[in-house]
Amino acid sequence: MKRKFLALLLACILTVSLLPIGSAFAMSETDVTLTATYEQLYTVTVEEVYPSEGGTVVVDPTIAMEGETVTVTVLPAYGFRLEWLIVMDVNRNLILDTFNTEASFTMPASDVTVEVYFTDMRTYTLTVNNGAGGGSYRVNDYVRITADEAPAGKQFKEWTGADGLTFISGSAATEIARFNMPARDVTLTATYEDAQEPGDVYLIGSYEELKAFAALVNGGNRGRNAKLTADIVAADENWTPIEWYSGIFDGCGYTITGLRISRNDAYVGMFSGIEEGGTVKNLALKDVNTQGSFYAGGIVGSNCGVVQNCCVTGSVTGSGNYVGGIVGSNEGVVRYCYSAATVSSGKTGGVIGANSGAAKSCYYDSEVLTGVSAIGLNDGTAT
C-alpha cells in the first residue's frame, strides 16, 4: 500500500522547466517543481567615435544572446560624413565592416566592440598674405604655402599666424611649407627682413671642394650653406648628386663646366632633390651631360624649394617621364631660369619636366630644342 501511494504522489508532481522571467500561473492542487535555466548574455560596447563631435551611435540591443540580431545606427552631426563603421569580437575578429549609417549583425558568442569614424566635411578658410596657397579647405586637407619673392634688399623671415600648425614639411621659417588644414580658419602672412649673408658658409673654389661639399651634405649635413668663389671645371668622372638639400647654395654667377651625371635611377641632376627651405641660385652649368630615368634635370631632379637665376647648357636625358633642362619635377618655385640644353624622354619640358608648384619668367632656347614647351606637364602656375 505504501508503494502504491508513493507512485501516485510522484505521478501527481508537475515539473515546469521553462517559464519567462516574472511569469505567473495558477497553482494546481498538486506539488509543483520549477527549474530556472539561463543563457549567456553578451555586451555591445561603442569603443571609439572619432572625432568625438562627428556624431552619435545607437546600438539596439546593447545586451544580446548568441544568434540575436543587433542593429547599429549612426547619426552624423551636421557637416560630418560617416567614413567607416566596424564591429569586432574580443579577439579583434571582424564581424561588420560598412559605410552604411544603419547596419545589423548576428551576435556571436562573445562581447563585441563598435568603432565609428567620421570625416569632417566642413570647410575652413586659409588666407595667405604676401604669398600663394590660400583658399577653402577641409580638415586634414593637404596645404602648400609659398611666399612671394622678397622685395629688393630683403629676404624671407617667417610666416606669422602659424602657431598651432603641424607642418608636414618645411616650417614657419621656410618660404615653402606644407601642413594639414586644422578645424579652424587660418591667416598666414609672409614677412621679410633686411637681406644678410647666411652664416656658416662653405666656400667652394675647385672641383675637389665641390665634391667634398657634396659628401658633407650626403653625410647628413643637408642644411649647410655654400658659395662658389670661382668657375669650376669638373673632372671626367661620374658625379654623385647632392641629396635632398635644404641649405642655400649660391653660385654667385660662376659656372661649373662639364658635369657628367649618369645613373639608372630617378631624381638625377647636380642635386637629386631640394627640400622646402632649400635654395639654389645664381648658378650656371655649362655642357652638362645628365642621364637618368624619371625626374631628371640639369640643376635638380625634384625641387620642393627654390631654384632661381640658374642656366644650363648641354643635354638632359631620361628613360622615363618628367625631364627638364633645369628641373625634372617642381613642387616648389622656379624663377628667372634659362635652358639651352637638349632634353629627351617621354614627357619633357625645356625648363621643367612636370610642374605642380610655381614657375616664373623661365625660358628655353627653341632653336636648340624644338617640339616642346617650357613645361612638359603643368598642374601648377606659370607666369
Kind and range of the H or E run holding 209: helix 207-218
Placement of cell 631660369 in the chain: 337
| DSSP conformation letters of 297-313 | ESSEEEESSEEEEEEEE
Q: pLDDT of the chain along its 383 residues, tens only? A: 444 434 333 333 334 444 555 667 788 788 888 877 778 999 999 999 999 999 999 999 999 999 999 999 999 999 999 999 999 999 999 999 999 999 999 999 999 999 999 998 999 999 999 999 999 999 989 999 999 999 999 999 999 999 999 999 889 999 999 999 999 999 999 999 998 877 789 999 999 999 999 999 999 999 999 999 999 999 999 999 999 999 999 999 999 999 999 999 999 999 999 999 899 999 999 999 999 999 999 999 999 999 999 999 999 999 888 999 999 999 999 999 999 999 988 778 999 999 999 999 999 998 887 778 899 999 999 98
Residue 68 per-residue DSSP state: -
Phi, psi (5° rounding) for residue 54? Answer: -70, -20
What helix, strand, coil percent values describe the chain, rounded to 5? 5, 50, 40
Grouping H, G, I as helix, E, B as strand and the rest as coil, residue 314 is: strand
d(CA 103, CA 124) in angstroms, rounded, equals 32
Phi, psi (5° rounding) for residue 134? Answer: -70, 160
**pLDDT of 291-308, one tens digit each?**
999 999 999 999 999 999
d(CA 194, CA 368) in angstroms, rounded, equals 40
| DSSP conformation letters of 101-170 | SEEEEE--SS-EEEEEEEEE--EEEEEEETEE--EEEETT-EEEEEEPPPPTTEEEEEEET-TT--EEES
Kind and range of the H or E run holding 60: strand 55-60
User: In DSSP terms, which residues pair with 84 in a beta bridge?
Assistant: 117
d(CA 199, CA 252) in angstroms, rounded, equals 16
d(CA 225, CA 249) in angstroms, rounded, equals 6
**pLDDT of 153-195, one tens digit each?**
999 999 999 999 999 988 999 999 999 999 999 999 999 999 8
pTM to 2 decimal places? 0.74
d(CA 201, CA 224) in angstroms, rounded, equals 7
Q: Is residue 382 within 8 Å of 357, Cβ to Cβ?
A: no
d(CA 76, CA 286) in angstroms, rounded, equals 61
Phi, psi (5° rounding) for residue 231? Answer: -65, 150
